[in-house]
Structure 1
Amino acid sequence: MIFYLLFILVITIVLWFVWFLFHRAWQKGIIFSSLNFVLLEIRFPKILESADINKEKEKLLIMEQFYNSLNTILQKEKGFFSPKPYIIFEIAVPEESEEIGFYLALPKKFQNTVQRQIQGFFPEAHLEAVNDYNIFNRSGKNAGSVLKLKRNYILPFQTYKKLEASTLGLITNAVSSLKAAGEGVSLQILVRPTKHSSKSDAAKIIKHLYQGKHLDEALNEIENPLSFIDAFREFFNIKKSEDKNKPIEPPKTLTPLSQELINAVDNKAKQNLFEVNIRILVSSGTGEEATQILSNVESAFAQFEFPDLNSFYSFRPQKRILKKLIYNFSFRLFNKSESIWLSGEELTSVFHFPIIKMETPKVRFVKAKAAAPPAILPASGSVLGRNQFRNQETVIKLNPLDRRRHIYIIGQTGTGKSYLLRNLIKQDIDSGAGVGVIDPHGDLVEAILGLVPRHRFNDVVLFDPADTEWPAGLNLLEAATPQEKDFAIQEMIATFQKLFLAEHLGPIFEHSMRNAILTLMADETSPGTIVDIPRVFTDPVFIRQLLIKVTDPLVRDFWEKEMLKMTEQYKSEMTGYLVSKVGRFVENSMMRNIIGQSRSSIDFNDIMNNGKIFLVNLSKGRIGEINSALLGLIITAKLQMAAFKRAEEKNEESRRDFYLYMDEFQNFTTDSIATILAEARKYRLNLVLAHQFIGQLTDKIRDSVFGNAGSIISFRVGPEDAKFLVKYFEPVFSEQDLINIDNRHAYAKLLINGATTTPFNIATETSPESSLDEAEKLRELSRQKYAKPRTEVEEIINKRFGH
């Protein structure tokens, strides 16, 4: 007897020890599994317009289908020491934030599969792996609850298919009023598939209801611990003795309520079931505040109450049990004791992604959508940036052939245009290409100066009007051919019309200006300058000297006949107006020393044909806005003249590509830019035009840009520009996308291999650091080659003025 007792005791101890080891390994497996989770934040574009209620329910049906798809993904054999796989859905407001985030935590081994599944059901979803958030106030108080079903799981609660209002809206509204700091909340829903079926229990309840029994009686039949005996008898067709002589009762007539109950139970029984834990955790400065927030969230679940069927109740653990709940929440551990069984329809009602319109403020939506890049991209060329779409990163390049059709860039200040320009310019310089940069702010040119590699130092031509001790000459009136003269005159007149409003000048001003410029151009060995224009009308001796070189009879007639017929009053008014406009540049010593030199110290033909690096710093803050505009207009005209001169080269392929970057290009262009945009490809003058607002452009320039630019890149813009631009980016992107895209991100519609792509998103690359020391060396080198000392220039100009 004692032997048997000892044997039983040993067996018991061994079994206990085995169970202890198994339980310990099981717990370690659970902890290990939870630490091997990845947390994803999931965001959607904000829905701005309400859809028909039926269409919104159709969207929620997609969420239900997504839940059902998880069954096949997660139905894998569990390891001996590992739990069944599960996924966690969370709505949370971190302790140091007011924003409501939607999160998804899942085992890393399922990450790619589940992400593909989500983006298959919801193509607009944006998924991003993030660090874990914290809802807990370290010096505050915590509260929490577990949501359970009041009645048997077989009885459904009210779902989105019956409810009119958004079920998610009431839940998110409950967490939207938290303080910016010190309060946090999370609704955590752990979901795993189960092989458990409700069909058997549902069939029993439905049978009893058909027999006219009350629902409580029907439930008692399946909840009674001895109900398996009745099931055994029924299976083997064994009747109780008292039932043998009992007459068969005819079926009862069902009431509308009974029929509704039967339909509801039957509907749930036909669906897949999920084993679910629902937790609410709150943290705040005081216990009272934490409890109040918890009550607000719990009350949002009252909407699911289905009279006579099911609803939620909350269990609020305290002290040690609360700590256990917080532990399980923090490690995202599934707790069998918290389990309830929900159908896909019920689960969708409790938690769905924000895929229908939500009025709740502070929800973290996708500011702007993303889209896939073209399937075929150039393997080489200039890198514009990177496309990120569905965890795939693609480098976006543009080849030289497509760049000949120009690039147009628009975006508000500070959105990242300069980063893109700097990176493209740096790549062109490194590749040995000819580059021109016209910058009205100066920052871009200063940065580029410090990025030029040493082997290209001798290619740099810096034009900096603010360097007053070393002025470089710039004369638009020097022209070698009749065609160049005609273009220079047109640009000079267009420049003054742009600077001083064309409607205030009139045809007589244009006629007088044309003849004055032709007169100054007559001496090709020593052409006049803009500085000389006022003298033409005010200095009789000077005009007589100029007329010696004039051979054009129409020009001579203007001075010898037309001017003589003008009344003194009219002549005085016209001369006074002209002198007042041009005189501001003559009286400014900085400008006079630049535009008063009869020969340009920069050879624009050499710059384009020999691939120089032409950097133009027209900082409005340093030289003044109108001076910046005049110099920019002259330089643009000179570059166009150099481009047109390339037509003399019969072999188009021998023309070297020259990339001209113009920031705030509307300041430096007249309507003649339309010709370059339309025909620059054959001249190999490849434009990169950037600015901030479409309203800055004249109608003609705007139409020319959008009619000819092969590639359009839009950083964030304002509402008015979004209305105009959206037609180039829809249906992929909307006005809201164009308005909301983040800094250093843009939407691109590119010309690739001669064909226009559908729009997609890009993120600009990080720019390399610029060297101030190298920039200063280049500045000095360019001074010595392309500028003259101020005293020397002033002496030459004074001599020409007879001083």
Structure 2
Amino acid sequence: MLFALGFQTEEELAPVATAANGFDLTYAYIIFAMLGIGLVVIAGLYAYRYILRNFTSVRGKTFSKIILQVTLPKFRHEEESQRGPQKEQVQEAIAAAETFFAALGGLKAEKGFHAWLHGRSDEFSLEIVVQKKLIKFFLVAPANLKEFAEQQISSAFPYAHVEEVEDYNIFHPKGTILGSYLAFKREYAFPIKTYKKLDKDPLNALTNVFSKLPEEDGAAFQFIVRSARPSWRDRGIQIASRMQQGMKMQEAIAGKKTDSKGFISEFATLSGIASKDEKAQEKKDHRLGPQEEEVVKGLEEKASKAGMDVCIRLIASSTNASSAQMLMQNMLNAFSQYNIYEYGNSFVKVVPGSVKKVIQKFIYRTFDHRNKLVLNAEEMASLWHLPLPWTETPNIQWLIARKGPVPSGVPDGPEKGDVQLGYNTYRGVKTEVWMKSPDRNRHMYIIGKSGSGKSETIARFALEDIKAGHGVAVVEPHGDLIERILQNIPRERIDDVIVFNPSDLERPMCLNMLEVKDESMKDMAVQEMIAIFYKLFPPEMIGPMFEHHMRNAMLTLMSDPENPGSIIEIPRMFSDTDFQNKWRSKITDPVVMSYWVNEVDKTSDFHKSEMLGYLISKVGRFVENEMMRNIIGQQRNSFDFREVMDKKKILLVNLSKGKTGDVNSELLGLIIVSKLQMAALGRADMPEEDRKDFYLYIDEFQNFITDSIATILSEARKYRLNLIIAHQYVGQLVKNNDTKIKDAVFGNVGTMFVARIGPEDVE
């Protein structure tokens, strides 16, 4: 009974509530209020935790994860492709994956208030995916554990290539999507069948499900993995211990022994009333049967290895419901190979209440605690590992070529004159690769099929040289490379650029092979011009007589260094007497004069006409072409090749065959390369320390070089003319069984840059 006591003082005091026994109820109200507030706070905290885990944190953790695609070469060694797999080899190969999962399971499980509130962030996702008929393997890792994941993959699979990629999409926009989880039939402490007890690679059964899917279908096995807390082992050890003490498997699971001794015996045993001797005698008398021994052994073996919390999610997407259902059923059936039905564990299907939520959790790679399994490293390696060389499933995305580390001695940092070749990514480590300036002086040879990146490589190297302030010349027969370089010329080097474009008819640039600055270069210019004609025409159409007449005609046109002639004037030397006499008056070489006096003048008109026809048939095509006539018919070159080299200019030669023509393009390219060669050799009059590096890039170089390429490769290096030559296949260097150019290239280049090539070139 409650009542109020009133005390009269100077001021009226409020009555104090008390119980009949005199207990002050105010404290009770305070306690109840605090408990209520505490319950509200706890409920609010759990509600906040639910929101964080299912909305905010999920999205945040998803966007902080790194998606890594892992690929392997089909065969690491030649002998693997020549013999079938042995069971021991398969198990040894899969054991590599076990070491990987042992490392994941060895991570310290996150704990504390932050992990409780937001959920753990140390979860990995291992995925086998089919997308557009291609089977791929992914490892998704938290950003802070990316390096760890890459290192562990590289350690377990030395030949694996790990590449960060964008997320994939396996869903058909108008198709049917199904999702499912896998659970255990028994407690997680019981093991499943692993690769050590299977005759074949278990991965084949999983990937074969994907082998015949149409291109528009997609599917994925997703294993969300995180390290388990150490206490996960206790249950398996407990069950094994109970069975060793005489309990049957079901009794050991339940923790109760239902033998003939009944309740009293059980109570005595559990309470400790039974004597130690009785317990010891019971343990001594009990012998496990063969099947029970297998169960105990399996429990102990599972508990002896690193454990992981695992969530297994299956997703199937197809254009229609029946196909999606069949695909999902096949995916589920693939896991039956792991089942130990009587004395072990088995996988069972868990039908989700909402397919939409399953898909959402698949996309966000969320760990679903309601479908948590515990697997050890051996079991996980049986479920997910990279394909083996003997994996029979077609459509697996293999690594085309093996990856390797940067060889020792290759510089990984720049010095003056060095050029960056690119990056090497090996075992998760990205290393810059540089080429030293002395190595570049020994020339570079680039070979690769069309589309393998030769022009891209040339453009990048040339732009690096341009930005570094070097002299550069680029000769190429397509035009695209020149346009790309022009678009990326630094502003401070615009005034150094010279663009030679024959198809620009409004502003033709002169290119006269017969103009030389030094008298000593005359013979070389003539010899190069004759070699050019040998390059352009079959040798049987040239011959010694053509060479003899051409040499003397060109030497005559070079008699006046101030006003030299051009090659288009050669026919006039034999058809126009006045023109011939004009040049004969300038001859100072008695041998050349003897040619005109003792040979030409004494030749009959009939034989002169034959000679003229012979020359015109070779030179006439260039004389009659207006574009070529405007270029090679002028006396003075539009620019000085020696000045281009010494003053570190940028010469871009656009010899697009589509605009210029094949033969015209080759002639102009041959002349330009010869001019650069002569300019380089002319540096003999300059002290070696004053010679600046000049880089000559030639794409499809077989069109623009003569047999004198050996001279360029061996001699030009001394004069700091560094060649970077590129083409598609070795056969382009052999003409009419003549291997001079091929031998010169392979015998002199210091660096070879090999892209994708054919089998003959590999040999």
TM-score (norm 2): 0.79
Pick from 4, 27, 35 the counterpart of residue 50 of structure 2: 27
Pick from 251, 269, 287 the counterpart of residue 221 of structure 1: 251
- Partner of 2:446, secondary structure, is strand
Show CA shifts across 1:382-430 (max 9, x none).
Answer: 6546426366655555565543333333444444444443444444445
Given that residues 98 and 176 in structure 1 are in contact (C-alpha distance below 8 angstroms), is that contact kept between their aligned partners in structure 2?
yes
Show CA shifts across 1:319-349 (max 9, x none).
Answer: x355554454444333344233322111101
Letter matched to residue 407 of structure 1: M
Give the C-alpha shift of residue 561 in structure 1. Answer: 6.1
Give the C-alpha shift of residue 129 in structure 1. Answer: 4.6
Give the C-alpha shift of residue 615 in structure 1. Answer: 2.9
**Equivalent residue runs for 1:537-616 within 5 Å:** 555=592, 576-616=613-653
Q: Which residue does the alignment assign to 1:791?
A: none
Give the C-alpha shift of residue 68 in structure 1. Answer: 0.9
What is the alpha-carbon distance in structure 1 between the residues aligned to residue 722 and residue 95 of structure 2?
52
Given that residues 190 and 236 in structure 2 are in contact (C-alpha distance below 8 angstroms), is that contact kept between their aligned partners in structure 1?
no
Q: Which residue does the alignment assign to 1:312?
A: 346
Given that residues 385 and 397 in structure 1 are in contact (C-alpha distance below 8 angstroms), is that contact kept between their aligned partners in structure 2?
yes
Given that residues 437 and 660 in structure 1 are in contact (C-alpha distance below 8 angstroms), is that contact kept between their aligned partners in structure 2?
yes
Show CA shifts across 1:642-671 (max 9, x none).
Answer: 11111012x211123322222222211112
What is the alpha-carbon distance in structure 2 between the residues aligned to residue 401 and residue 244 of structure 1?
83
User: CA RMSD of the aligned region, Å?
Assistant: 4.4
- Partner of 2:97, secondary structure, is helix
Give the C-alpha shift of residue 67 in structure 1. Answer: 0.8
Q: Which residue does the alignment assign to 2:71?
A: 44
What is the alpha-carbon distance in structure 1 between the residues aligned to residue 682 and residue 280 of structure 2?
114
Residues 1:565 and 1:227: Cα distance change in structure 2 (over 3 Å): farther
Give the C-alpha shift of residue 293 in structure 1. Answer: 0.9
Q: Which residue does the alignment assign to 1:291?
A: 325
What is the alpha-carbon distance in structure 2 between the residues aligned to residue 18 and residue 702 of structure 1?
83
- Partner of 1:488, secondary structure, is helix
Q: Which residue does the alignment assign to 2:261?
A: none
Given that residues 201 and 222 in structure 1 are in contact (C-alpha distance below 8 angstroms), is that contact kept between their aligned partners in structure 2?
no
Q: Which residue does the alignment assign to 1:352?
A: 385
Given that residues 59 and 356 in structure 1 are in contact (C-alpha distance below 8 angstroms), is that contact kept between their aligned partners in structure 2?
no
Residues 1:641 and 1:154: Cα distance change in structure 2 (over 3 Å): same
1:473 lines up with 2:513 in the alignment = no
Q: Which residue does the alignment assign to 2:657?
A: 620
Residues 1:636 and 1:16: Cα distance change in structure 2 (over 3 Å): same
What is the alpha-carbon distance in structure 1 between the residues aligned to residue 278 and residue 351 of structure 2?
48
Pick from 635, 643, 646 the counterpart of residue 680 of structure 2: 643
What is the alpha-carbon distance in structure 1 between the residues aligned to residue 603 and residue 345 of structure 2?
98
Letter matched to residue 346 of structure 1: E
- Partner of 2:106, secondary structure, is helix
What is the alpha-carbon distance in structure 2 between the residues aligned to residue 63 and residue 392 of structure 1?
21
Letter matched to residue 302 of structure 2: K
Q: Which residue does the alignment assign to 2:145?
A: 110
- Partner of 2:107, secondary structure, is helix
Given that residues 515 and 561 in structure 2 are in contact (C-alpha distance below 8 angstroms), is that contact kept between their aligned partners in structure 1?
yes
Pick from 365, 372, 384 the counterpart of residue 339 of structure 1: 372
What is the alpha-carbon distance in structure 1 between the residues aligned to residue 279 and residue 198 of structure 2?
44
Pick from 694, 697, 712 the counterpart of residue 730 of structure 2: 694
Pick from 51, 54, 59 the counterpart of residue 93 of structure 2: 59
What is the alpha-carbon distance in structure 2 between the residues aligned to residue 326 and residue 359 of structure 1?
30
Give the C-alpha shift of residue 498 in structure 1. Answer: 1.2
Q: Which residue does the alignment assign to 2:530?
A: 493
Give the C-alpha shift of residue 171 in structure 1. Answer: 0.9
- Partner of 1:611, secondary structure, is coil
Show CA shifts across 1:514-572 (max 9, x none).
Answer: 44444444454544432233445556776666555556565566566677999999987
What is the alpha-carbon distance in structure 2 between the residues aligned to residue 459 and residue 720 of structure 1?
43
Residues 1:13 and 1:132: Cα distance change in structure 2 (over 3 Å): farther
**Equivalent residue runs for 1:260-279 within 5 Å:** 264=298, 266-279=300-313
**Equivalent residue runs for 1:159-170 within 5 Å:** 159-170=194-205
Given that residues 100 and 153 in structure 2 are in contact (C-alpha distance below 8 angstroms), is that contact kept between their aligned partners in structure 1?
yes
**Equivalent residue runs for 1:721-800 within 5 Å:** 723=762
What is the alpha-carbon distance in structure 1 between the residues aligned to residue 581 and residue 723 of structure 2?
43
Show CA shifts across 1:79-130 (max 9, x none).
Answer: 3535455534343547x74433333334444333333333333344444455
Given that residues 276 and 342 in structure 1 are in contact (C-alpha distance below 8 angstroms), is that contact kept between their aligned partners in structure 2?
yes
Residues 1:227 and 1:666: Cα distance change in structure 2 (over 3 Å): farther
1:677 lines up with 2:713 in the alignment = yes
1:194 lines up with 2:237 in the alignment = no
Show CA shifts across 1:259-285 (max 9, x none).
Answer: 766655554343233332222122334
Letter matched to residue 406 of structure 1: H
Give the C-alpha shift of residue 166 in structure 1. Answer: 2.6
Show CA shifts across 1:423-468 (max 9, x none).
Answer: 4444444544333222322333344445556665554433332233
Give the C-alpha shift of residue 679 in structure 1. Answer: 2.7
Give the C-alpha shift of residue 360 in structure 1. Answer: 3.2
Residues 1:432 and 1:203: Cα distance change in structure 2 (over 3 Å): closer
Residue ranges of structure 1 left out of the alignment (5+ in a row): 725-803
Letter matched to residue 270 of structure 1: S
Given that residues 183 and 285 in structure 1 are in contact (C-alpha distance below 8 angstroms), is that contact kept between their aligned partners in structure 2?
no
What is the alpha-carbon distance in structure 1 between the residues aligned to residue 233 and residue 742 of structure 2?
67
Number of corresponding residues:
713
Given that residues 40 and 127 in structure 1 are in contact (C-alpha distance below 8 angstroms), is that contact kept between their aligned partners in structure 2?
no
Residues 1:104 and 1:237: Cα distance change in structure 2 (over 3 Å): farther
Given that residues 170 and 300 in structure 1 are in contact (C-alpha distance below 8 angstroms), is that contact kept between their aligned partners in structure 2?
yes
Residues 1:358 and 1:700: Cα distance change in structure 2 (over 3 Å): farther
Q: Which residue does the alignment assign to 1:662?
A: 698
What is the alpha-carbon distance in structure 1 between the residues aligned to residue 279 and residue 653 of structure 2?
105
Letter matched to residue 226 of structure 1: K
Given that residues 663 and 691 in structure 1 are in contact (C-alpha distance below 8 angstroms), is that contact kept between their aligned partners in structure 2?
yes
TM-score (norm 1): 0.76
Letter matched to residue 708 of structure 2: S
What is the alpha-carbon distance in structure 1 between the residues aligned to residue 420 and residue 707 of structure 2?
28
Residue ranges of structure 2 left out of the alignment (5+ in a row): 3-18, 259-264
**Equivalent residue runs for 1:63-74 within 5 Å:** 63-74=97-108
Given that residues 149 and 310 in structure 1 are in contact (C-alpha distance below 8 angstroms), is that contact kept between their aligned partners in structure 2?
no
Q: Which residue does the alignment assign to 1:484?
A: 521
What is the alpha-carbon distance in structure 2 between the residues aligned to residue 469 and residue 335 of structure 1?
73
Residues 1:432 and 1:106: Cα distance change in structure 2 (over 3 Å): closer
Letter matched to residue 465 of structure 1: P
What is the alpha-carbon distance in structure 2 between the residues aligned to residue 89 and residue 583 of structure 1?
72
Residues 1:75 and 1:713: Cα distance change in structure 2 (over 3 Å): same
1:302 lines up with 2:328 in the alignment = no
Letter matched to residue 224 of structure 1: A
1:158 lines up with 2:185 in the alignment = no
Given that residues 444 and 723 in structure 2 are in contact (C-alpha distance below 8 angstroms), is that contact kept between their aligned partners in structure 1?
yes
Bigger Cα displacement from structure 2, 587-596 vs 416-425: 416-425
**Equivalent residue runs for 1:371-410 within 5 Å:** 374=410, 376-379=412-415, 381=417, 384=420, 386-387=422-423, 389=425, 398=435, 400-410=437-447
What is the alpha-carbon distance in structure 2 between the residues aligned to residue 353 and residue 536 of structure 1?
76
Give the C-alpha shift of residue 138 in structure 1. Answer: 5.7
What is the alpha-carbon distance in structure 2 between the residues aligned to residue 98 and residue 78 of structure 1?
44
- Partner of 2:197, secondary structure, is coil
Given that residues 56 and 356 in structure 1 are in contact (C-alpha distance below 8 angstroms), is that contact kept between their aligned partners in structure 2?
no
Q: Which residue does the alignment assign to 1:233?
A: 269
Given that residues 174 and 296 in structure 1 are in contact (C-alpha distance below 8 angstroms), is that contact kept between their aligned partners in structure 2?
yes
Q: Which residue does the alignment assign to 1:773?
A: none
Given that residues 204 and 218 in structure 1 are in contact (C-alpha distance below 8 angstroms), is that contact kept between their aligned partners in structure 2?
no
Over the matched positions of the two proteins, sequence identity in percent amounts to: 38
Q: Greater CA radius of gyration, 1 or 2?
A: 2
1:436 lines up with 2:473 in the alignment = yes
Given that residues 150 and 428 in structure 2 are in contact (C-alpha distance below 8 angstroms), is that contact kept between their aligned partners in structure 1?
no
Q: Which residue does the alignment assign to 2:215?
A: 180
What is the alpha-carbon distance in structure 1 between the residues aligned to residue 523 and residue 280 of structure 2?
119
